[in-house]
Structure 1
Amino acid sequence: MRKLSVFLALVCAFVGGAVPAATPAAAVGARAQAAPSFNGTVWAIAFRGDVVYVGGSFTAVTYRGRSFERRRLAALDARTGAVLRWQPAADGTVRALAVAGPAVYAAGDFDSISGQSRDAVARIDASTGRPTRFAHRVTGEVATLAVGNGRVYVGGSFSTVDGVTRRNVAAFSHSSGALDRSWRPSTGGRVRSLAVTRSRIYLGGEFHQVNGSRAADRLAAVHPANGSLVRGFRPHAPANVMDVAADARGVYTATGGPGGRAVGYSSSGGIRWTHLFDGDVHTIAVMGGIAYVGGHFDRACRRTSTVRQLGCLGGYTARVKLAALDGRGRLTGWNPRANGTIGTHVLTTYPPRHRIAAGGAFTRIGGAGRERFALFN
C-alpha cells in the first residue's frame, strides 16, 4: 500500500469535485467463471473465437484436478475453461501474444519454441502449435507486439533486428514474415506497449523522444506505413506509460508513478479524463466504451490531483487490483476483487463474445480460487 503524502499543500491542488456515485456496472459480469489455474505468472492473453491463448512464466496448468505440462504457452476453451491440446514450448517467459488469422504471434524472453531457434519473437500455427518459418535475430528484448495493416509491430528495448538498426520498435510483413525496411521509427527508450489503428500506431513506454522529437514523451503516435511521427497527436503523459489502448473515442493509457493513473485522451492528445489509484495501473483494455484497468492498487481515488501524489487524499472507493471506468472516467460498479501484492498484469477484451480475460500474479478473484488467470463474460 502506498503511504499518504505528508505534504498537506497537496490537498489544495485537486481539480474537480468528488467522483459521483458509481454509475451502472459494466455489462461484463464481475464473477469470474471456472477456469484452469497456472503455476506461474500470466503475462499475455489473446483471443481467437472460442479459444483463448495464454503466455507467461508458467510450466503447468491445472484443470479439474488434472495437471497439464505447458511450457509458458497454453490454449483454453473460452466457453468451458478446458485445457486444449495446443502446446508449443517456449524456453523463456512469453510477455506478449497477438492473433492474426491462423497465426499466433508471441514475444518475450525466449530463444526457442518447441526446440526450434526463435529469438524473442515467433509465429506459431494457431491449430497445431508448430512454429512457422518466421525467425529473426534481435539484439535486446521484445516486450510487446500488435498486428494490423498487414504488419506485425513489435516494441521493447533493442538496437538491431536481423543486423539492421531498429531502436526499440520494428515491423514485419504478416504475409512474408520479412522485416519491413520502410517502417523505421526510433525511440529514445523502452517501448512497453503498442496499439494499432488504421491510421496510427500508438507507442507507450519510458522513452522521452521519438524520431528525434522531444515533443513525444512516453506516449506518441506514428504512421503505420513509414513510422513518421504524427505531429497532430501531442499528449502529456504524467508518468511512464505501462499500457496503451485505442478505440473510436480516443486513446487510453495505464501509468505508474506516484499514484497510478488511467488516462483517456482525445485523438489530438488532449486529456478527456484522468482517474487516480493508490498504486500503479499496469494494464488497460477497452470494450463497449468501458475502460477496464488492472494493477497493484487497492483503492480508486475520489479526487485526482494535478501534481505528484501518493495515496487518495480526498477519499477512495475500494477496488482491489481490478476496476472499470465509464466514458467519462468515472468508476463503475464492476468490482471483481483480485488479491496479491503485484496483482493484475494483463487485461484482454474480445468484443464479438463480450468477454474479458485477466492475467497476473493473483490467486483469488472475489474470494474464489482463480490462480493467475480469470475469464469474465
Structure 2
Amino acid sequence: MKKYVLAVVTAAAVLAAALIPSGPPVEAATPGFGSAVSAIKQTSWQTNNSVNALAISGNTVFAGGLFTKIRQPGKPAGQGEAVRTYIAAFNRTTGAPTAFAPKLNGPVYSIATSPDGNWVVIGGDFTTVNGIKRSKIAMFSVVTGRMVSAWDPVVSARVKALAIFGNSVFIGGAFAKVDGAVRNHLGAVRLIQGDLLPWNPSANGDVYAIDLSDNGTRVFVGGPFSTINGKDHYSLAMTNNTTGAAYSFPAAAAIPKPTATCTTRVKDIDTLGDNVYVSNGGDGSGCYDGVLAAQVSTGKLLWKNNCLGATEAIKAIGNWVYKGSHAHNCSDSGAFPDGTGTHYLLVESAINGKIGPWFPNTDADQSSTTQVGPLAMAGTNTDLWVGGDFLNVNGKPQRGLTRFTNTPGGAAPAVPKAPILAPSSAKVSVRFSDVYDLDNISLTYNVFRGTTNIGSFKYMSYYWEARKAYTVVDTGVKSGQTVTYHIEVHDGRNIMKGPSVSVKVP
C-alpha cells in the first residue's frame, strides 16, 4: 500500500546522521522529543475489534479491519458507539470520525489512496458494499464518500495488499484470477476505468505487501511466496510496473530461506526517496523478524536490523522508520535483551537501523485472531497513525486505533531522585542517578547547589537499562556551611526537578 509522506529533515539532523553511521541513532532537532513524532498518545476514537489497514488522503484517515463499531475516546465497550462495518474514516486533526460509513459484509485487509487525493480503494474478504455486489475490492470518492458504481473488478479471493500510482491500482493477496483472467496473487487494474492491466508477476504464494518507488517505475511485493514468474524470488521482489518482470534485487538475499525449524516472510513494505524498507515476521525460535533497508536504484542492501519479534507494520518519516512489532529481544542490534518485556512500538534510524528515541507501547489482545499488537501504520511528516489488535496504549484503554503527532512538548523525563551527598573538608561529593524519557535518549542533567548550577552534563539512557549513577564534586563550599542540592533533568523543552537534600560541610 502506497503511503505518501513529505520528508522534512533538518540540515543538522542530516549532518549528524552522516557523521555517526555506526554509532548511536541520530536525534532530530525537535524541542521536547528526539524523532519525528512524540510518544504522547493524542486523542482519537477507538474500534471494537482489530484494525488491519490504514491510509491517509489529505485530512482524512481511512481505517479498515475486523471491527463493526467505533467508539468515543476513553469510553468502555458498549458506550459512545457508532456503527461502522469494517471500514471507517477519521479527521486527521481531531481523531473524530467522519460521516463515511459504507456497509460491508466482510473484513477489510488493505486500503490505498490515490496520489491526487480523489480516490480510496479498499480490499478484503467482502462481497457486497451497501448491498451492491463487489468482489473483494471497491473504490470510493474521497470527497463525497460514495462508492464508484461503475468500478467493479472481480477478484477471486482475499485482497491483502493495495498500492496506487498514476492510473494503476496494484493488487496482492490470495486470489488466482482477476476479471476471469489468471492472475496468481498479483494483478493490476486501471484506477479510473477498472479494467484489467497486463501487469502479471505471477507469485506462487500469497502476497501481503505492495509499494511503489516514489517515481512509480518499480513495484515491490512481499509475502510468503518463493517464485515470481516461475523464478526464485523468496518473499521479496522488485518488479517492472508495466510488465511485472522481476529485476535483480540483491537485498532480498538478506531474508533467510526456510529451514525445518524457521520460516520468515515479508509483512510490510514502505518506500521513501531512494530507499525501500521491508519488515519481516518469522515462525520458529530465532527466525528473522526485523527490518531491512535497500536502495531502490540499485537494489543493494543498506542495513538490516535483527530484532526478534515479528515486525507487522512500518512507516518511514524523514530519517526515521517507525515499526509495529512484538519485539522482545534487540540485543543483536545493540538494544534491549530478552526479559525486558514486549516492545510493540519502536523507531529505528533510517540511516543505520539502530533503535531510536521513541518508546510508547501497546499490548496485544490475546482473544483476537492475530494476538500481535500493532498491524498497520500510516503517517505524514506531522503524525503517525497505528492500528492493530491492541486494547491499551501507554497503559490506558484505547482499542484498535491510536495516533501520535509532532505537537511540541513530548513526554517529560522521569523525576530524578534526591542526590546522595558525601561531605568532606571544604567539598561535597554529589552522587545522582540517571532517569529515562519515552521520546528522548539524550538528557541534560543540571546539578544545583541552592540556585547555583554547579555542573551540566549530557548522558544517554534507555528505559530498559539499569539506572546509572554519576558523581560531581563541589569544591565551592566552606567548612561549617549547610548546603542544599537538587537535580534538574532537561529534554529540550520539559524540565523535571527532583527533591532537595541538605548537608553540613565538616
- On whether the aligned pair clears a TM of 0.5, the verdict is yes
- Structure 1 equivalent of residue 86 of structure 2: 72
Aligned counterpart for 2:163 among listed residues 146, 149, 152? 146
Q: What are the equivalent positions in structure 2 for 1:8-23 lying under 5 Å apart?
A: 21=24, 23=26
Q: What residue identity is the alignment partner of 1:202?
A: F
- With the length of structure 1 as denominator, give the TM-score of the two structures: 0.87
- With the length of structure 2 as denominator, give the TM-score of the two structures: 0.65
- Alignment deviations for residues 199-235 of structure 1 (CA, whole Å, 9 cap, x no partner): 2000111111111211x21111111122121135552
Moved more, 330-339 or 237-246: 237-246
Q: What residue identity is the alignment partner of 2:205?
A: G
**DSSP-derived class of the 1:91 partner:** coil
Aligned counterpart for 1:44 among listed residues 27, 49, 53? 53
Decide whether aligned partners of structure 1 residues 363 and 20 sit closer, same or farther in structure 2, where only a CA change above 3 A counts.
Answer: farther
CA distance in 1, matches of 2:353, 2:336: 18
Cα deviation for residue 141 of structure 1 reads 1.9
- Structure 2 equivalent of residue 262 of structure 1: 291
Q: What residue identity is the alignment partner of 1:252?
A: Y
Answer yes or no: is 1:344 the counterpart of 2:367: no
**DSSP-derived class of the 1:45 partner:** strand
Decide whether aligned partners of structure 1 residues 70 and 314 sit closer, same or farther in structure 2, where only a CA change above 3 A counts.
Answer: closer
**DSSP-derived class of the 2:402 partner:** strand
Moved more, 365-374 or 162-171: 365-374
Moved more, 107-116 or 237-246: 237-246
Q: What are the equivalent positions in structure 2 for 1:212-361 lying under 5 Å apart?
A: 212-214=230-232, 216-231=233-248, 235-236=252-253, 237-238=255-256, 239-257=264-282, 258-267=287-296, 268-297=298-327, 299-304=328-333, 320-326=343-349, 327-340=351-364, 341-351=371-381, 354-361=382-389
**DSSP-derived class of the 1:303 partner:** helix
User: How many positions carry a matched residue from both structures?
Assistant: 348
Q: What residue identity is the alignment partner of 1:217?
A: Y
Q: Is the 8 A contact 1:108 1:142 kept in 2?
A: yes
Structure of larger gyration radius: 2
**Structure 1 residues not aligned, in runs of 5+:** 1-18, 306-311
Q: Is the 8 A contact 2:251 2:294 kept in 1?
A: no
Q: What residue identity is the alignment partner of 1:243?
A: D
Cα deviation for residue 300 of structure 1 reads 4.7
CA distance in 2, matches of 1:107, 1:51: 18
- Structure 1 equivalent of residue 228 of structure 2: 210
- Structure 2 equivalent of residue 174 of structure 1: 191
- Structure 1 equivalent of residue 205 of structure 2: 189
Q: What are the equivalent positions in structure 2 for 1:22-171 lying under 5 Å apart?
A: 23-24=26-27, 25-63=34-72, 66-100=80-114, 101-132=117-148, 133-171=150-188
Task: Return the structure number with greater relative CO, CA threshold 8 A, min gap 6.
Answer: 1
Cα deviation for residue 104 of structure 1 reads 1.1
**DSSP-derived class of the 1:323 partner:** strand
Q: Is the 8 A contact 1:86 1:127 kept in 2?
A: no
Q: Is the 8 A contact 1:319 1:335 kept in 2?
A: no
Q: Is the 8 A contact 2:268 2:313 kept in 1?
A: yes
Cα deviation for residue 22 of structure 1 reads 5.5
Q: Is the 8 A contact 1:221 1:233 kept in 2?
A: no
Q: Is the 8 A contact 1:220 1:234 kept in 2?
A: no
**Structure 2 residues not aligned, in runs of 5+:** 1-21, 28-33, 257-263, 365-370, 406-506
User: How high is the sequence identity, in percent, across the aligned residues?
Assistant: 26
Moved more, 36-45 or 341-350: 341-350
